[in-house]
Structure 1
Amino acid sequence: MPLLLLSGYPKSGKTHRSQQLIADFTARIAASSDPRIQRLKLFHVSDDTLALDRHAYATARAEKDARAAFASAVKRELTRDTIVVTDGMNYIKGFRYQLYCEAKAVQTPNCIVQVGTQPPQCREFNEAALREQSKDSPPYEPEVFENLIFRYEEPNGMNRWDAPLFAVPFEDEAPDFQAIWDALVGVDGKAKVVKPNAATVLKPATEQDYLYELDKSTSDVIAAITAWTADHPGEGGGSVKAGEELEVELPMNPPSLPQLQRLRRQFIQLNRQHNLSKTRVKALFVTYLNDAFES
């Protein structure tokens, strides 16, 4: 069923909030007489449930692998009868967009719950965890922690993949989750209807046609980047528009054409068997590039 995506700074209490949400939703399911509600299941995905080490965030390659494992776990469990509680920082907007697309693909609602603990308090929690070296609440190394704080991309409810957006303040010890339940499960027994869009529908296509679309869509993105770099020689760190609501965030050292072509070939090799729709290819390629440029 729905995708419930938690987002927040490291050590902000996301696991605590996810456990509160799971307990609240479990009670609602048990108390309901609606067969549609009764058959709902809850699935909790987190770095800890997937045995992902905190050190994974110390290097770009390890972090990318960790995010891939996280996304695969969400995708495996995402069905119309399962509420998937994704307990992670989910701090990169491109990654949140990727999970949003997965929810749309199975025609199920999603929402974002932002844990509102601010960096100073998170820093205190992490320092305490470092002192205690608790296995139940593993700490982040200080340099990794500060880097994650700096890179956090706050959810914006104006973006369709970050909406609806709910904030849970640090001071709220017992939040009311009714609005979140209504957004995901429906109001007065009526389920929210989600229609797939062009970015999430897997359209049937011949192998030849799909490979052509894969080649063309990725080429269009590369062309947009090379055109931007030609207009801004020597500049880095810009945003290149690659489609509707799609932007490639360039690194401070502009990538060369051979680097771009190498990334393009890698992406094609990874996705040549997936038979994605044209719009989805471009969105995922933009996400792939943004992840690569963060290293």
Structure 2
Amino acid sequence: MPLILISGYPCAGKTYRSEQLLNFLTTKIASSTDPRVTKLKVHHITTENLGLSRTAYHAARPEKDARATEMSAVKRLLNRDTIVIADGLNYIKGFRYQMNCEAKAVQTPSCVVHVGTPVDKCREVNARRLSGEDKTEAYSEEDFENLVFRYEEPNGMARWDSPLFTVVLDDETPPFEQIWEAMVGSDGQAKIVRPNAATVLKPAMEQNYLYELDKQTSDIVNQITSWQKDHPGEDGGEVTITGVENHVQLPVTPLSLPQLQRIRRQFISLNRQHNLDKGRISLLFVDYLNDTVHG
């Protein structure tokens, strides 16, 4: 059943909203007479029930471990009869992309709920927690500002953030019915999501797959870099990639080589174990580039 990702600034009220959603879903299931609905279960994954501390965001290694812990919990619980609410920062779009891939791998839909509390209000809440007796729910000022700076707001135009539901600070009627309709449906049967080439694991690794993954993505980066050198001062543009039908849509600001290499490394990391069809690597990388740059 569906994966519902909660995202927002630190201290935005994500847990409050996810608990509201949890109560709505459990009530909806309990009041139904449809056996396809009554068999559903809801799991609420939080920082607390995963045993994670907010101090994990003070350094890169524990932060990476915290994300891995959340990912493992989602993979363990996600199945056809379970709705998983992943309540966390979920602030990195690459991580949300991975979560989307995990949902597709079990042929179930996913969505993102963005708790859109203004950063000044979040800062005020964190300061109040820091000055209170129980500081376990607070972030250090340095960590708070760093997380706000690095937050990559969900964008409904990106496939991994769609459908996107935004809940503003004073919203007394969050779109829970719309979430239910999109994720479960009026008939109580979640839509079956067809896995794409990027989420289906093949039984055996194709020969030279990692070599092709590295070579084809590197070739595309080189073609983009070369095009930008030949078209200095142009605002955006389309780069035709050899052997790929889709074009790379460049932003107004030219992409630097470090930016391109970072996106390339993200794509390789996400697909290292997915054993993509070698004939589709370039196409999927072009799509990923466009989504990342314009997402």
Same-fold call, TM > 0.5? yes
Q: Could you give the per-residue CA deviations for residues 152-186 of structure 1, whole angstroms, max 9, x where no partner exists?
A: 11111111111111111110245351101111111
Identity in percent: 50
Helix, strand or coil at the partner of 2:203: coil
Match of 1:72 in 2: 72
Q: Tell me, in whole angstroms, the C-alpha distance in 1 between the residues paired with 2:81 and 2:159.
A: 23
* Cα separation, partners in 2 of 1:73 and 1:4, compared to 1, 3 Å: same
Match of 1:19 in 2: 19
Within-5 A mapping of 1:53-92: 53-92=53-92
Match of 1:187 in 2: 186
Q: Tell me, in whole angstroms, the C-alpha distance in 2 between the residues paired with 1:101 and 1:10.
A: 25
* Cα separation, partners in 2 of 1:112 and 1:170, compared to 1, 3 Å: same
* Cα separation, partners in 2 of 1:245 and 1:153, compared to 1, 3 Å: farther
Q: Displacement, 1:62?
A: 2.1
Match of 1:104 in 2: 104
| Structure 1 alignment gaps of length 5 or more | 234-240, 291-295
Helix, strand or coil at the partner of 2:65: helix
The question of 1:50 aligning with 2:50 is answered yes
Q: Tell me, in whole angstroms, the C-alpha distance in 2 between the residues paired with 1:254 and 1:115.
A: 34
Q: Displacement, 1:93?
A: 1.0
2:209, 2:275 within 8 Å by CA — same for their partners in 1? no
Quick one: which of 198, 211, 214 aligns to 1:215? 211
Q: Tell me, in whole angstroms, the C-alpha distance in 2 between the residues paired with 1:280 and 1:52.
A: 36
Q: Could you give the per-residue CA deviations for residues 189-210 of structure 1, whole angstroms, max 9, x where no partner exists?
A: 45323211111112233x4x2x
Match of 1:293 in 2: none
* Cα separation, partners in 2 of 1:104 and 1:131, compared to 1, 3 Å: same
Q: Tell me, in whole angstroms, the C-alpha distance in 2 between the residues paired with 1:161 and 1:245.
A: 20
Helix, strand or coil at the partner of 1:140: coil
2:198, 2:274 within 8 Å by CA — same for their partners in 1? no
Q: Match of 1:10, as an amino acid?
A: P
Match of 2:232 in 1: none
Q: Tell me, in whole angstroms, the C-alpha distance in 2 between the residues paired with 1:62 and 1:214.
A: 28
Match of 2:144 in 1: 145
* Cα separation, partners in 2 of 1:5 and 1:246, compared to 1, 3 Å: farther
Q: Displacement, 1:188?
A: 3.6
Match of 2:235 in 1: none
Match of 1:9 in 2: 9
Q: Could you give the per-residue CA deviations for residues 189-240 of structure 1, whole angstroms, max 9, x where no partner exists?
A: 45323211111112233x4x2x51122113333444466667889xxxxxxx
Moved more, 122-131 or 216-225: 216-225
2:216, 2:281 within 8 Å by CA — same for their partners in 1? no
Q: Tell me, in whole angstroms, the C-alpha distance in 2 between the residues paired with 1:43 and 1:78.
A: 9
Q: Could you give the per-residue CA deviations for residues 48-95 of structure 1, whole angstroms, max 9, x where no partner exists?
A: 221122122122222222112211111111111110101011111111
Q: Match of 1:28, as an amino acid?
A: K
Q: Match of 1:4, as an amino acid?
A: I
Q: Displacement, 1:125?
A: 0.5
* Cα separation, partners in 2 of 1:189 and 1:267, compared to 1, 3 Å: closer
Helix, strand or coil at the partner of 1:166: strand
Q: Tell me, in whole angstroms, the C-alpha distance in 1 between the residues paired with 2:88 and 2:100.
A: 15
Match of 1:204 in 2: 203
Q: Tell me, in whole angstroms, the C-alpha distance in 2 between the residues paired with 1:52 and 1:38.
A: 32
Moved more, 214-223 or 14-23: 214-223
Helix, strand or coil at the partner of 1:33: coil
Match of 1:29 in 2: 29
1:12, 1:116 within 8 Å by CA — same for their partners in 2? yes
Match of 1:237 in 2: none
Aligned length: 269
2:7, 2:113 within 8 Å by CA — same for their partners in 1? yes
1:116, 1:168 within 8 Å by CA — same for their partners in 2? yes
Q: Tell me, in whole angstroms, the C-alpha distance in 1 between the residues paired with 2:281 and 2:170.
A: 40
Helix, strand or coil at the partner of 1:48: coil
* Cα separation, partners in 2 of 1:152 and 1:215, compared to 1, 3 Å: same
TM-score under structure 1 normalisation? Answer: 0.77
Q: Tell me, in whole angstroms, the C-alpha distance in 2 between the residues paired with 1:199 and 1:159.
A: 16
Within-5 A mapping of 1:217-236: 217-225=213-221
